[in-house]
Amino acid sequence: MMLTMIGALGNVLGVFFTGFHSFVALRFFTGMGSEAVSDTAYIIVMGYTVCERRTLVSFIWTLSWTLMASVLPWYAYLLRRLS
């Protein structure tokens, strides 16, 4: 729970800081929080999925993170360009 709060705080504070070094530091704390969320999903997959399907379920879970991480910077670029 504590790592999730640190990650959320890093995301919220990222709105108020504009420097590169502060951005990097806050992204580090955000990454700490996202690890806790990923570990929770891993535990759920291991507990509720049959052995033959664990790899598939884990792949689908990580694929959604990868797609969103690839799309969101372009979305932010378009929003900034339109405003």
Q: Residues near 38 by Cβ (< 8 Å), separated by ≥ 6?
A: 65
> What pLDDT does residue 21 have?
92
pLDDT at 1 over 80: no
Q: Check: CB of residue 41 under 8 Å from CB of residue 61.
A: yes
Domain ranges (residues) in the chain: 1-48, 50-83
Q: 20-72: per-residue pLDDT in tens?
A: 999 889 888 888 877 777 777 778 878 888 888 888 887 887 788 788 888 98
**What's 54's DSSP letter?**
H
When comparing pLDDT for 1 and 17, which is higher? 17
Answer yes or no: is pLDDT of 74 > 80: yes
Identify the pLDDT of residue 81. Answer: 85
- Tell me, what amino acid is at 65? W
Q: Are 58 and 46 in contact (CB under 8 A)?
A: no
